[in-house]
Structure 1
Amino acid sequence: MTLLDQIKKKAEEIYPLIVEHRRYLHRFPELSFQEHCTVAFIRDCLYKAGIDPQPIGDTGLLARIEGGLPGDKLVLLRADIDALPIHELRQTEYTSANPGVMHACGHDAHTASLIGVAMILHSIRDSFAGTVKLLFQPAEEILPGGACQMIREGVLEEPGLIGVIGQHVMPALPAGRIALRKGRFMASKDDLHITVNGRGGHGAQPQENVDPVVIAAHIVIALQQLVSRFSHPATPSVLSIGRFLANGAINVIPDKVEMQGAFRTMDENWRYDAHAKMRKMAIGIAESMGGTCEFRIETGYPFLVNADDLTDNVAVFAGEYLGENNIEEAAIWMASEDFAYYSQQTDACFYLLGTGNESAGIKASLHSPDFDIDESALLLSTGLMAYVALRQLGNNT
C-alpha cells in the first residue's frame, strides 16, 4: 500500500472521532491563555493514541513523532487553540456552553485536525523518514500572540527544521478545496488608540469652546491620505477607524473624543514609516485647531509571507492528495495572523482550508456569531496535512 493510500485509509477510519473532537472543542471554548481544559482534552486524546506531548509556554502543547526510517529532516505543524469573546447564535447540538465565548474562527477545527494528523502519523511511523513536531499553540487572537511565546521557548531552534506549515478554515471556499499563495499573503495589524482633547461647553456657543468632535473628524479624513497618497500603490494598506466616541449631547460639546482603529499593510519598512506619519498628522491637526491629541499605537503581528519553494511543494503535494482541480490560488488577505511570526523567521506555508457549504446554509464569515463549518472538511484536513508533511520530509507517495 502506498503512503498516500495508507494516509487516506487512516483518515477515513478516524474521521468520526475527529468530528466528535471538534464538536467537544466547539462546545467548550476558552479564551486566549485560558485554554487549560482545552489543553487537558488535547493531551488526553494524544495519550490515548500513544503519544506523549509536552507542555510549552503557558498553555501550549508540543508533540513529536519520529519516523522509523533514517532521516534527519523536521517539519513543524501548527494549530491554534483559543476562542473568541463572541456569543454564539447558531443553535446546534454542539453550540457553545460557555456564554460569550465561541470558536468563531475555526480554531476548534484546526485543533481537532492536528489531533487527527498526530494519530495518523503515529500509526504509520514505521513507514516514513524524518520527524514531525505538532504544536498546539495558545492565544492567536490577542496581542502579542502566542506564537511569540512559542518562539521564545525555542520551537524553531531544532536542527533539521525545513519548514512550518499551518492551515486556516475559510467559509468562502467550498469544502473539499484549498487555496494558497506564494509570497506576501496576510497583512500586519497595528491597533490605533487616539484621544482628541478640546474644551467642551454649550453647543450654542462654539466660539467659547475647542470642539474635539470637529478636530477628530478632520483627523479621520486626513488619515486616509496615508493609504491614498503616501503608500506605494503596489503595497496593500488599509486604515480603518471603527470606534468614534464623542460623549456629548444634542446641545453639549464634549471635552474629548476617543477613537480606535487598525492599520494593516504588507511592508515592514512602510509600516513603521506610516506610524510616524499618522502620529505627526493627527497631533498637528489637533494643535492647529486649538486642541491636543494623544496617539498610541499598539504594534501587532507582522505580515505573513509564504516561502516560494515550500508553498510550491505544498501545492504539488496537495494536488496529489486532493486532485489538482481542488487547488486554487488565494487572493491577498488583509486579515492578520500570528503565524506570521514563524514566517518571518523560517520557511513557512499557511494555506486556506475550504469549509463552506452554501446549500447547507454554512456560509457565515469568520468571527460571526453564526459561524460553523461543513464538517466533511475534517476528513481532508487531517489526511492532507499528514501527507503534505511527509512528502516535504522527502517520503515517496
Structure 2
Amino acid sequence: MRIEAFRNLQHEAVVWRHYLHENPELDYRMHNTARFVIEKLASFGIDRIETGIAEAGIVALIQGEDGNQPTIGLRADMDALPILEVPNKRWSSNIPGKMHACGHDGHIAMLLGAAKYLANTRNFKGSVALIFQPAEEVGLPSGGLRMVQEGIMDRFGIHQVFGMHNLPGIEVGKFGICDGPIMASQDDFDIVVKGRGGHAAAPHQAIDPVVIAAHIIVGLQTLVSRNTNPMEPLAISVTKLKAAEAYNVIPDQVEMGGTVRTLVPGLREFAERQILATAQGIARGFGADLDLKHRRAVPVTFNDTNGTNLAIKAASNLVGPASVDVKIKPRMGSEDFAYMLEARPGAFIFLGNGATAGLHHPAYDFNDEALPFGIGYWVNLVEIVLAA
C-alpha cells in the first residue's frame, strides 16, 4: 500500500510522540512510558500484552486470520538520553537533563500507529509480536540483550525480527538498507597505566604515566593504520583520560578508556588481543605496568539476505523503488537490536528524518513528517511477510 493510506494516522501519532518527548525516561526506569504504551495497546483491542520483560519491556501479540501461521517481531526502542535539550519547541522535554535525542519517541509512536492499523484490519496470517524495548542506550546488559535472554523469541514463537531507526541526512520519505553488516559492533576498554609519581620539576625521579599514556594513544592508532586491511573498517578511539589535578604533580597512575567499532566480527578478537599487547609493551618499555579491562558490548548488526529483501519490498511498495537505497553504506555506530538479529534472522532499516540535527545532539528532534512513512513500512512489511 502507498503512503496515502497512512496519512490519516499522522495527527494521532504526533500527539503521542509529543507527549513522549515531553516526558523522557532513561534506561530501565521507564514506568510512565511503559504505562502509556500499555494503555494505547489495550485501547486498540489487543488482548495479549505481556509486561515487565527486562523490567520495563513490553511484547504485545496481534493475531491475524490464522494464528497458527508464523510470527514476526517488530521492535521499537523506548529510552531517552541524559542530555540537556535545547528548548526550541513547545513539546521540549519537561525534565532537565533528559531528552529524546535519538528519536525513540518517534519509534514508539510509529509502532503504536502500526499496531492500531493492524489490530483493526488483521489482513495477514500468523501473528505480529510488537516489541517495545527499554535501555537501548545503556551499556551491558542492554535492554535488547535482556529481552532475548528472557526468552521472548521462544515465548512468542518469533520466526523473524525487524527493526527500524530514523536517520538525519536522509530525506523524509526515503529509506536506506543493505544486505549483511549495517551497523558496527561496540567493545569498550579501560586502561590504568601504573607509573611512579613525583614532582613535575623532577621528572627524572618519576616514571611518568602521562607520557606513557600519550605513547599508548599514538600506538593504538597503528593497529588500524598499519595492522589491518584498509578495506575492513575498524575504529579505535581513546575517549577518556584522567591524570593529576595539580600543575606540579606527576601522578602515580593515569586512567584512560575508549571504544572499538568494526563491521568484521574477527577484528573484535584482533583488537582485544592487540590493544593489550601494544599498551602493555609500551608501558613496560618505560618501566611501568598497566591493567586493562576489555568488555564486549554489542555485536555487529547483521541483515539476513531474505529479511533484507522483504524489507526492501515493503519500503518499495510504500514509496517506490527509487526512494529506497538498497546499498546504503554501513554505519560505525552500534545498535543493540543486533542481539535480536543474532537470535532470529531479519533486517534493520533506516528511515529518513530530513535535514535535522544529528542523533544525540541537544537540538535534535524526530521529524513528525516521517511518522506515516514508518507506520506504512511496518504495515506493508507485515502484510508481505504474513501474506493472507
* TM-score normalised by L of structure 2: 0.95
Which residue, out of 376, 379, 383, partners 1:390?
A: 383
Distance in 1 of aligned mates of 2:233 and 2:341: 18
287-296 or 150-159, larger mean C-alpha shift: 150-159
Q: CA deviation at 1:248?
A: 4.4
Q: Provide the aligned C-alpha RMSD in A.
A: 1.7
Distance in 2 of aligned mates of 1:128 and 1:308: 22
Distance in 2 of aligned mates of 1:232 and 1:373: 37
Q: CA deviation at 1:273?
A: 2.8
Q: CA deviation at 1:242?
A: 1.2
Q: CA deviation at 1:268?
A: 2.5
Q: Is the 8 A contact 1:120 1:383 kept in 2?
A: no
Secondary structure of the corresponding residue to residue 172 of structure 1: coil
Q: CA deviation at 1:344?
A: 1.8
Residues 1:342 and 2:335 are matched in the alignment: no
Do the aligned partners of residues 57 and 245 (structure 1) sit closer, same or farther apart at CA in structure 2, a change above 3 Å counting?
closer
The one-letter code matched in structure 1 to 2:333 is A
Aligned counterpart, 1:368: 361
What are the residue-to-residue correspondences of 1:1-397 with 2, within 5 Å? 4=1, 8-9=4-5, 11-52=6-47, 53-55=49-51, 56-69=53-66, 72-125=69-122, 127-144=123-140, 145-157=142-154, 161-328=158-325, 329-356=327-354, 358=355, 363-395=356-388
Distance in 2 of aligned mates of 1:40 and 1:284: 53
The one-letter code matched in structure 2 to 1:108 is D
Structure 1 runs of 4+ with >3 Å offset: 158-162, 248-251
The one-letter code matched in structure 1 to 2:380 is Y
Q: Is the 8 A contact 2:73 2:161 kept in 1?
A: yes
The one-letter code matched in structure 2 to 1:333 is R
Q: Is the 8 A contact 2:74 2:131 kept in 1?
A: yes
Q: CA deviation at 1:250?
A: 3.4
Secondary structure of the corresponding residue to residue 144 of structure 2: helix
Do the aligned partners of residues 70 and 264 (structure 1) sit closer, same or farther apart at CA in structure 2, a change above 3 Å counting?
closer
Distance in 1 of aligned mates of 2:155 and 2:230: 40
The one-letter code matched in structure 1 to 2:232 is T
The one-letter code matched in structure 1 to 2:43 is K
Q: CA deviation at 1:298?
A: 2.2
Per-residue displacement from partner, 1:183-216 (whole Å, max 9, x unpaired)? 0111111111111121222222111011111100
Q: CA deviation at 1:324?
A: 1.3
The one-letter code matched in structure 1 to 2:159 is I
Q: Is the 8 A contact 1:72 1:160 kept in 2?
A: no
Do the aligned partners of residues 194 and 142 (structure 1) sit closer, same or farther apart at CA in structure 2, a change above 3 Å counting?
same
Q: CA deviation at 1:323?
A: 1.2
The one-letter code matched in structure 1 to 2:96 is P
Q: CA deviation at 1:137?
A: 0.6
Q: Is the 8 A contact 1:190 1:263 kept in 2?
A: yes
Structure 2: state its 5+ residue gaps.
Answer: none
Q: CA deviation at 1:158?
A: 5.4
Distance in 1 of aligned mates of 2:81 and 2:367: 20
Q: How many residues align?
A: 384
Secondary structure of the corresponding residue to residue 204 of structure 1: coil
Distance in 2 of aligned mates of 1:189 and 1:114: 26
Q: CA deviation at 1:264?
A: 0.9
Distance in 2 of aligned mates of 1:260 and 1:123: 50
Per-residue displacement from partner, 1:308-360 (whole Å, max 9, x unpaired)? 1210121122111111121113211000000011112221210001112x3xx
Distance in 1 of aligned mates of 2:149 and 2:205: 54
